[in-house]
Amino acid sequence: MLTMALCLTVSAGIIPADAKSPKVKDSKTTYAADVLRPYVESGQLAGAISVFYKDGVQETCCIGYADVAAKRPIKMDNVFMQCSQTKGFCGVTIAKLVEDGKISLDDPVSKYLPEFETLWVLDKEEDGVKTLHKAKNVLTIRMVLNHTGGFPFEASVKREDVRGGGWSGGAPLRQVACVAAASPIMFEPGTQSLYSNTGIDIGAAVVEVVTGMKWEQYLKENFLDPLGMKSSWFWPTDKQLKNQVEMYITKENAPAEWVSENSWEQRPYNDSHVFASAGAGLWTTANDQLKFYKMLMNLGVGDNGVRVLKEETVKSILAVSTRPEGLGGYSLGLTAPVKDGEGEWFGHGGAWGTNCLVNWHTKELKLWVVQISWGPQPWNQEVAKAAEKFFQSVVDMSEVNAYTGRTK
């Protein structure tokens, strides 16, 4: 049995609040902790952060360790790799440019990156010989942001098997775009879906051309800084890394095993080999993630009262799919429903098990933080059930309060 171990907090009070931030009421519930405790006690789960939020009421659970060996508790301000959740951060930069009238989602990518004027589609490959045809469809900004552009997961300039790269190791965004444009794509643009870091990086390269700024700097000035996300960046400081959430491999009915790194994102994490990647690469904290996703939930307004996007922008191109009919739901760097509705959520997950989803209709949010390189995660379904209990309990409490108020 772990002693201090569960490091459990179920309180909204641990989240630093801006003076203008709305007050968050502690739900006084422990639904997530109750289901996670046995896994932490057995060592199968090193540590996790779970946040359930509904319309001002929040359950915050920090349980276990950021570093098991050092007995360092996991906390809301520990930095971690959010991996593909970075895609949504590229999505909002594109949405901002659309909102400002500087681009259209249906603009050809070649309007800003001429190297995409002619693309070649891979028909087949036999004995190392590739058969290609010239693409008939025009590649648009919409397509690269919703994974219908036909690009492979990573461009060769970043792929681990080609040059030992990864999401943040590899190359500048413009170079990634150039290599992608010169390489075969997998299908006619707009006709299928294929999950691709490359496409998102191409979208970020468009941002750089349109704004004349590095994509990450545009992101910082228009979203990270206004929302107060001071702990999120592509190059975490040495001080931050001393308190990072360490990475583990999980096993069936056995303690998790610490690993120094995953080959996709290699140490050192903040030296000159690291390039900003829009597909995956932004480091953050649970506190900062809440600021970003609550902004989406609140249709463009941060918890500090700062508006970074118009309400209609979030509703029309972030909270609902931008894909053609029949290709599933995905908007701009975010998983999203095909059709908007009260029961629909949007957000994104990351490779190491992180995830955050929001529902703007009901003002609900589910955030989950772990750092699991690979291995089973048997607690996921139980956490999902815990979330259902939380949201139902908040609804029940609000109904009781409303009834009590009418009797006064």
Q: Per-residue confidence at 4, pLDDT binned at 50, 70, 90?
A: very low
CA-to-CA distance for 339 and 329, rounded, in angstroms? 8
Please report the pLDDT score of residue 157 as a whole number: 81
- pTM over the 0.85 mark: yes
Please report the pLDDT score of residue 273 as a whole number: 83
291 φ, ψ (degrees, to nearest 5): -65, -40
Query: Residues 214-233: what's their mean pLDDT?
Result: 98
CA-to-CA distance for 306 and 226, rounded, in angstroms? 7
Residues 279/86, Cβ–Cβ less than 8 Å: yes
CA-to-CA distance for 261 and 258, rounded, in angstroms? 9
Residue 73: is its pLDDT beyond 50? yes
> In sequence order, what are the beta bridge partners of 225?
none
Q: Per-residue confidence at 27, pLDDT binned at 50, 70, 90?
A: very high
Q: Where would I find the H helices in 167-236?
A: 173-181, 197-211, 215-219
CA-to-CA distance for 46 and 193, rounded, in angstroms? 35
Query: Residues 39-66: what's their mean pLDDT?
Result: 98
Residues 256/382, Cβ–Cβ less than 8 Å: no
Q: What is the domain partition of the chain in residue ranges? A: 1-76+378-408, 77-346
Question: CB atoms < 10 A from the CB of 343, how many?
Answer: 8
Please report the pLDDT score of residue 266 as a whole number: 78
CA-to-CA distance for 59 and 261, rounded, in angstroms? 31
Q: Per-residue confidence at 272, pLDDT binned at 50, 70, 90?
A: confident
The CATH fold assigned to 77-346 is Beta-lactamase (3.40.710)
Please report the pLDDT score of residue 128 as a whole number: 86
Q: What is the pLDDT of residues 375-407, one digit of tens each?
A: 999 999 999 999 999 999 987 655 434 433 333
Please report the pLDDT score of residue 400 as a whole number: 38
Q: Strand 372-374 and strand 247-251: pairing? A: parallel
CA-to-CA distance for 57 and 12, rounded, in angstroms? 8
Which pair of structure tokens corresponds to residue 379? 């607690």
Please report the pLDDT score of residue 161 as a whole number: 52
Please report the pLDDT score of residue 1 as a whole number: 36
CA-to-CA distance for 67 and 46, rounded, in angstroms? 8
Q: What is the pLDDT of residues 304-347, one digit of tens each?
A: 999 999 999 999 999 999 999 999 999 999 999 999 999 999 99
Backbone angle region of 214, left / alpha / beta, with phi > 0 → left and psi within -120 to 50 → alpha:
beta
Q: What is the pLDDT of residues 338-369, one digit of tens each?
A: 999 999 999 999 999 999 999 999 999 999 99
What mean pLDDT value characterizes the chain?
91
Which pair of structure tokens corresponds to residue 202? 């191409």
